[in-house]
């Protein structure tokens, strides 16, 4: 019976550890998307043009990265701010000079640990470094309906660029559940396995080393 218990406990512990480690790697989710039918290109060369795209979060989590599509390779100034457009305060994420390639670029912003909830609005913005030509892709006809595109001409104020115009993008949110580090989980599982083994062999040793109990007769 003891060996049978051990045989069922060990696979269960292994499955438990495996499932926890899988949860740690399954938290990155594509949230907001505007990556089809690009019909317009925006000027990403001029430093006086400050583009700012409004985005509405569709899930709870932490902002991890943003994809942008460029038609040429070059460099841009890039930032992310929590809150509605127009944002001109201290950026929650900022990169003074970000190199991009032609095609899709994944911009990692996870170091800023920006937490968002369903319905929260944030913006990402970019401007050129006067070293173009550099253009980035976008859409028209209100293809992305959960935010608006703004443009500022080298000032702290901006207007909506054009009704229904947006930047092409994808946002990624990390929804990982807080769990112990993998090393901690492994140590915990090994501890449970050792306890189960010690109990098994302790019971086995007692059975081998104990003489049969003698019946005691008590006379009144």
Q: What is the pLDDT of residue 5?
A: 45
pLDDT of residue 11 exceeding 80, the answer is no
- Give the model's confidence band at 132: pLDDT under 50 very low, under 70 low, under 90 confident, else very high: confident
Domain boundaries in the chain? Answer: 2-24+178-209, 28-174
Q: What is the pLDDT of residue 53?
A: 97
- How far apart CA 49 and CA 129 sit, in angstroms, is 10
Region 131-138: what's the mean pLDDT? Answer: 94
- Give the model's confidence band at 120: pLDDT under 50 very low, under 70 low, under 90 confident, else very high: very high
- Give the model's confidence band at 220: pLDDT under 50 very low, under 70 low, under 90 confident, else very high: very low
- How far apart CA 139 and CA 169 sit, in angstroms, is 10
**Rounded to the nearest 10 degrees, what angle do helices 182-209 and 2-24 cross at?**
180
- Residue 184, both tokens: 């901690």
Is-contact 98 90, C-beta < 8 A? no
What is the average pLDDT value for the chain, to the nearest integer? 81
Lowest mean pLDDT among 57-71, 85-99, 183-197: 183-197
Which of 82, 113, 107 lies closest to 95, judged by CA? 107
- How far apart CA 95 and CA 80 sit, in angstroms, is 9
Q: Which CATH number fits domain 28-174: 2.20.25, 2.40.50, 3.30.310, 2.60.120?
A: 2.60.120
Q: What is the pLDDT of residue 96?
A: 97
pLDDT of residue 74 exceeding 70, the answer is yes
Phi and psi at 138, nearest 5°, equal -155, 180
Is-contact 109 173, C-beta < 8 A? no
- Residue 123, both tokens: 């913006």
The reply to whether the predicted model has a pTM over 0.85 is no
Region 37-53: what's the mean pLDDT? Answer: 96
Lowest mean pLDDT among 84-93, 103-112, 210-219: 210-219
- Residue 192, both tokens: 């449970």
Is-contact 102 204, C-beta < 8 A? no
Please, what's the b/e burial string for 95-124 (b: 16 or more CB within 10 A of its CB; e: otherwise)? beebebeeeebebebeeeebebeeebbbbb
Tokens 């569709």 correspond to what residue? 58
DSSP assignments along the chain, one per residue = -HHHHHHHHHHHHHHHHHHHHHHHTS-EEEEEEE-S---EEEE-S-TTEEEEEEEE--SSEEEEEEEEEESS-EEEEEEEEESSSP--SS-SEEEEEEEE-SEEEEEE-GGG--EE-TT-EEEEEEEE-S----EEEEE-TTSS-S--EEEEESSS--EE-STT-EE-EEEEEE-------HHHHHHHHHHHHHHHHHHHHHHHHHHHHPPPPPP-----
Q: What is the pLDDT of residue 142?
A: 94
- Residue 112, both tokens: 């800023």
- Give the model's confidence band at 157: pLDDT under 50 very low, under 70 low, under 90 confident, else very high: confident
């Amino acid at each position: 019976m003891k060996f049978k218990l051990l045989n069922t406990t060990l696979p269960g512990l292994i499955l438990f550890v495996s499932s926890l480690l899988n949860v740690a790697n399954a938290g990155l989710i594509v949230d907001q998307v505007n990556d089809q039918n690009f019909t317009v290109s925006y000027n990403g060369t001029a430093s006086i043009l400050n583009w700012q795209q409004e985005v509405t979060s569709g899930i709870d989590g932490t902002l991890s990265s943003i994809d942008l599509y460029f038609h040429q390779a070059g460099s841009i100034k890039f930032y992310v701010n929590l809150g509605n457009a127009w944002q001109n305060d201290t950026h929650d994420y900022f990169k003074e000079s970000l190199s991009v390639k032609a095609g899709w670029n994944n911009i990692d912003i996870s170091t800023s640990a920006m937490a968002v909830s369903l319905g929260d609005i944030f913006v990402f913005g970019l401007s050129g470094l006067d070293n173009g030509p550099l253009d980035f892709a976008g859409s028209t006809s209100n293809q992305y309906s959960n935010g608006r595109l703004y443009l500022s001409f080298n000032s702290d104020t901006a207007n909506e660029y054009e009704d229904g115009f947006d930047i092409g993008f994808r946002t990624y949110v990390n929804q990982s559940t807080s769990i112990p580090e993998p090393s901690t989980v492994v140590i915990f599982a090994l501890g449970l396995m050792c306890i189960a083994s010690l109990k098994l062999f302790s019971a086995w040793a007692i059975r081998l080393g104990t003489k049969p109990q003698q019946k005691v007769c008590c006379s009144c």
